[in-house]
Amino acid sequence: MKISREQMAENRQRILEVASRLFREKGFEAVGVAEVMKAAGLTHGSFYGHFSSKDDLIVQALAHALGQRNGASLPLGAYMEEYLSPRHRDNRAGGCPISGLAADTLRQTPEARAAVTEGVRAQIDWMSEKDEGPDADRRRRAIANWSAMVGATILARVIVDPALSKEILTETLAWIDDGADRPASAPAKAE
């Protein structure tokens, strides 16, 4: 039975949704094509009508997850608070693909790393645009804040001590908030 282009597009969307959630939850190596297709309610054989390989699926799932930009409709401060919350920390499958998959992506194809590069670039650009500080410092603050947010989330997720995990999130947000009130220092010179 032949399926319509519309149904094919819906199936592809469902595969990307499922794959991006499973990859964020378990990592790339722990998730197979058969598991993705079963979770999407499709046959394993239909996979190749959508993707050429698991590597292709990884690239497309990363681009899909990064393109969703969860929380982008919030003001920047509220976005940072949500990102650095225990709720986001605990929602690996639905959370930020950068904090969930950065280390795994390092060992993936150049195409997967390029998808992450574009996602990081878009995030920094968005944060720079939302920043209300002086224009000259917006990009620097966006890079520093985003790096701190991702790093704090990674650490908070890996730590088994709940109090320390929450403290990392709370103190990172406080550090970011404190930085909004102080002038930027001169950039360090590269040696």
Could you please report the per-residue DSSP string of 97-109? HHHHHHHHHHTS-
CA dihedral 168, 123, 75, 169 (to 10 degrees): 0
Say if CB 104 and CB 25 are below 8 A apart. no
Residue showing tokens 């603050």: 141
The pTM (predicted TM-score) of the whole model is: 0.88
Q: What is the pLDDT of residue 2?
A: 77
Which sign does the torsion angle of CA 97, 98, 99, 104 carry? positive
Say if CB 151 and CB 175 are below 8 A apart. no
Give the chain's radius of gyration (CA, Å). 19
**Per-residue confidence of the chain (191 residues) as pLDDT tens digits?**
678 899 999 999 999 999 999 999 999 999 999 999 999 999 999 999 999 999 999 999 999 999 887 677 889 999 999 999 999 999 999 999 999 999 999 999 999 999 999 999 999 999 999 998 888 899 999 999 999 999 999 999 999 999 999 999 999 999 999 986 544 544 444 44
Domains, in order of start, for the chain: 1-68 (1.10.10.60), 71-182 (1.10.357.10)
> What number of other Cβ atoms are within 10 A of residue 58's Cβ?
24
CA angle 167, 173, 176 (to 5 degrees): 135
Q: What is the pLDDT of residue 73?
A: 83
Which of 107, 140, 100, 106 shows the shortest CA–CA distance to 124? 140
Q: What is the pLDDT of residue 159?
A: 96
Q: Is 11 helix (H, G, I), strand (E, B) or coil?
A: helix
